[in-house]
Amino acid sequence: MKFVDEYRSGESVGEYCRALAEITTQPWTIMEICGGQTHSIVKHGIQEMIPPELTLLHGPGCPVCVTPMELIDHAVHIASLSNVIFCSFGDMLRVPGSEKDLFSVKAKGGDVRIVLSPMEALEIAKEFPEKEVVFFAIGFETTAPANAMAIHQARQENLKNISFLVSQVIVPPAMRTILEFPDNRVQGFLAAGHVCTIMGTQEYEPLAREFQIPIVVTGFEPLDIVQGIYMCVRQLEAGCAQVENQYSRAVKKEGNLAAQKLIEEVFQIVPQKWRGVGEIAQSGLGLKNSYSAFDASTRFLLESRRCEIDSPCISGEVLMGIKKPDECTAFGTSCTPDSPFGATMVSSEGACSAYFRYKRVAP
């Protein structure tokens, strides 16, 4: 298939690895932002294929992983109510809260439904007007247009029995937090291609200038990743700090203007807490006042409480690129996808789940 098979060519990947070896003269540390990129890197053994001087760190690019525990607890509370149909993407069901997860609510009879699109939640709300339907609207900028469209459509159709529990996060502020971290080791970024299909590449230019760091937007196939690494190292070796677009077959500099307009119609920028990281200024999208009637967090109030639990989980350090999953003492033993301590082991984009699936050595 065009644009798939050609980006999985072992011969082409090998050529870029050899080219990397030719231009690399010193150690460099590069972080890939997206969990999809992390899974591709681990699955295909890219870290082992590139020169040993190059270190790849895994960033906070998994929206499931960074959804705060307090919000999981709120979702569990709402889903437990007898008059609620709670709709969510499947990988949110096993994300642990402070006491339980959505899967355990479903197992005890809660009406928790896995959907593939927020528009499905609208159809369910129409089908069951006597029920309160809640959609768990999570994601980076990639999912924001679809969630915004569903919320906009709900208002257009005057649906009174649907609301949205929102956890939309924005990537550049998290990158800034990583770069400002005292122990930061990141010298270059591979930015998430799917985010940039929506937002374009321009929003990364201030970061590249301010921190003098190359940022390369890449896709998710092995050749995409290795080309992106090559472009990043080429800049590092030359002392450059620019935003480059490896994923030009899908990403335009200006992004998707219609999608951006829809996001701006429904959402406003707000502070956002990232699980394992803490609150990051201007890193979230919350509903505008004109759409506040569809805010599940106010429709179903839950008394605020601290959600600190005693756990050996180091997912926060993994998300910040401080440690790798297999440096955790619980990895693959007491913490597994069937019995996870943290969201990074649950999500299909989590770094811990990637290591468990592709790198774990069987006992």
Query: What pLDDT shows up at residue 307?
Result: 56
Locus of tokens 């007007």: 129
The answer to whether domain 5-53+174-239 and domain 65-170+255-299 are alike in fold is: yes
CATH class of 5-53+174-239: alpha beta
Structure tokens at 355: 């290591």
Task: Centre a 10 Å sphere on the Cβ of residue 329 and count the other Cβ atoms it contains.
Answer: 9
Query: What pLDDT shows up at residue 3?
Result: 57
Instruction: Report d(CA 12, CA 309) in Å as an integer.
Output: 47
Q: DSSP alpha helices (H): ranges in 10-114?
A: 10-23, 35-43, 46-49, 63-66, 69-79, 102-107
- For the chain, which residues make up each domain, given as ranges? 5-53+174-239, 65-170+255-299, 317-357
Instruction: Report d(CA 204, CA 290) in Å as an integer.
Output: 30
Specify the CATH number for 65-170+255-299; select among 1.10.1420.10, 3.30.1490.20, 3.40.50.1100, 3.40.50.11740: 3.40.50.11740
Q: Which residues of the chain fall short of a pLDDT of 50?
A: 1, 362-363
Query: What pLDDT shows up at residue 313?
Result: 85
Query: What's phi and psi for 181, nearest 5 deg?
Result: -65, 135
Instruction: Report d(CA 116, CA 331) in Å as an integer.
Output: 30
Query: What pLDDT shows up at residue 1?
Result: 44
**What are 92-121's pLDDT values in tens digits?**
998 989 899 999 999 999 999 999 999 999
Instruction: Find out whether 198 and 142 touch, Cβ atoms under 8 Å.
Output: yes
Instruction: Report d(CA 78, CA 120) in Å as an integer.
Output: 19
Query: What pLDDT shows up at residue 362?
Result: 46
Task: Centre a 10 Å sphere on the Cβ of residue 130 and count the other Cβ atoms it contains.
Answer: 6
**What are 342-363's pLDDT values in tens digits?**
888 888 788 998 999 887 654 4
260, 94, 271, 81: which is closest to 168 by C-alpha? 271
Element (H, E) at 40: helix 35-43
